Amino acid sequence: MNVRLSGVGSYLPERVLSNPDLEKMVDTTSEWILERTGIRERRIAPDGVATSDLATIAAQRAMERAGISAGDVELIVVGTVTPDMMFPSTACLVQRNLQATGAAAFDVGAACSGFVYGLMTAASMISSGLYRNAIVIGADTLSRITDWTDRGTCVLFGDGAGAVVLEPGEGILGSCLGADGKGWDALMQPAGGSLMPATHETVDKRLHTIKMNGNQVFKFAVRAMANSVIECLDRCGMTRDDVNLLIPHQANTRIIEAAAARLGIPLDRVAVNIDKCGNMSSASIPVALDQAVQSGRLKRGDVGVMVAFGGGLTWGTAAFRW
């Protein structure tokens, strides 16, 4: 695959929601949250700011670093579970905001694996010669679909966006995407779609918020992340020793540590930002990637491996040379 990542950018809303803040909202303690999840605080988008707004700023930052102007953008792909609305796609709203007239634009639905799925979709479209560049964005405002009365889930999530620019060149080394639809009900937002359209009853029952079987997702996540990275490295003819930085989905520090231990990758080669950001779904990986690049932790020429898991159930790994 002849596709490289030529720029990366991210954006986090300013407002911080800390664990002590959550203590005032639900029956929890800062210690429980930190010990069981690794999260200290998360960012929350203000009212009126939607996923496309976060996505647009992240995209602009990535474009600036790649040195590409809006008029030259050919494809925009957004991974999100919190689109501004059911349709049009958030990617179309980003295209309008960027004034990237002429770019094709669509969203990818793979829950928290959306960024990695979107990356490989766009990379394939460039590799095939269909497009000369693409912006791939992971953006979510999970605060909008969080049940703020459910202590089992509301402590986990945050808002943010990250983006990369893809262009022809040497970079993406290989991937491994997968799904297991039998686990569809382990993690979902039940109402608001064609199966259960919005009614007074669905709103009263808070069925437009995230429902999750935490233990089931936990076990699945550790296994899926480890297996998917092993498969991807195998396909690339690489081993764990070739990996300079593992960039996992940020859902729970204990999941990240267990997966890294299975892989035999020491934690000093694992990007972790969950303490400051919580789980931002599709945005977690590109935000962590941007932070690793800006801090100098991932340097040009280094090998990075991103690995995601999420609702679907889905998982996805992509290996690349930065």
Ligand X SMILES: CC(C)(COP(=O)(O)OP(=O)(O)OC[C@H]1O[C@@H](n2cnc3c(N)ncnc32)[C@H](O)[C@@H]1OP(=O)(O)O)[C@@H](O)C(=O)NCCC(=O)NCCS
Stretch that binds ligand X, among 25-33, 56-64, 86-94, 170-178 (CB under 6 A): 25-33
- 187 contributes a contact to ligand X by CB under 6 A: yes
Write the DSSP assignment of 73-88 as a string of letters.
--EEEEE-SS-SSSSS
- 82 contributes a contact to ligand X by CB under 6 A: no
Which of 6, 19, 37, 273 binds ligand X (CB under 6 A)? It is 37
| CB-nearer residue toward ligand X: 168 or 214 | 214
* CA torsion through residues 8, 144, 195, 93, sign: negative
Write the DSSP assignment of 155-185 as a string of letters.
TTB-EEEEEEEEEESS-EEEEEEEE-GGGGG
Stretch that binds ligand X, among 32-40, 74-82, 228-236, 264-272 (CB under 6 A): 32-40
Catalytic residue among 112, 154, 176, 236: 112
| CB-nearer residue toward ligand X: 95 or 281 | 281
Which positions from 283 through 322 interact with ligand X, judged by CB under 6 A? 310
Task: Reply yes or no on whether 200 is catalytic.
Answer: no
- Cα-flanking dihedrals φ and ψ of residue 65, to 5°? -70, -30
Where would I find the H helices in 137-247? 151-154, 200-204, 214-236
**The tokens of 13 are what?**
């809303």
Q: Which of 312, 309, 308, 315 is nearest to 182 (CA)?
A: 312
In the three-class reduction of DSSP (H, G, I as helix; E, B as strand; rest coil), residue 101 is classed as coil
What are 315's strand-pairing partners?
Answer: 178, 309
What are 18's strand-pairing partners?
Answer: 41
Binding-site size, ligand X (CB under 6 A) = 20
**The tokens of 212 are what?**
């999750």
| CB-nearer residue toward ligand X: 37 or 56 | 37
Stretch that binds ligand X, among 28-36, 51-59, 78-86, 128-136 (CB under 6 A): 28-36
- 112 contributes a contact to ligand X by CB under 6 A: yes
- 218 contributes a contact to ligand X by CB under 6 A: yes
- Rounded CA gap, 16 and 18, in Å? 6
Which of 60, 252, 273, 314 binds ligand X (CB under 6 A)? It is 252
- 251 contributes a contact to ligand X by CB under 6 A: yes
- Cα-flanking dihedrals φ and ψ of residue 260, to 5°? -65, -40
Q: How far is the CB of 152 from ligand X (least distance, A)?
A: 4
**The tokens of 95 are what?**
């295209």
Task: Reply yes or no on whether 249 is catalytic.
Answer: yes
Catalytic residue among 92, 133, 249, 277: 249
Binding site for ligand X (CB under 6 A): 28, 32-33, 36-37, 112, 151-152, 155, 187, 212, 214-215, 217-218, 221, 251-252, 279, 310
Report the catalytic residues.
112, 249, 279
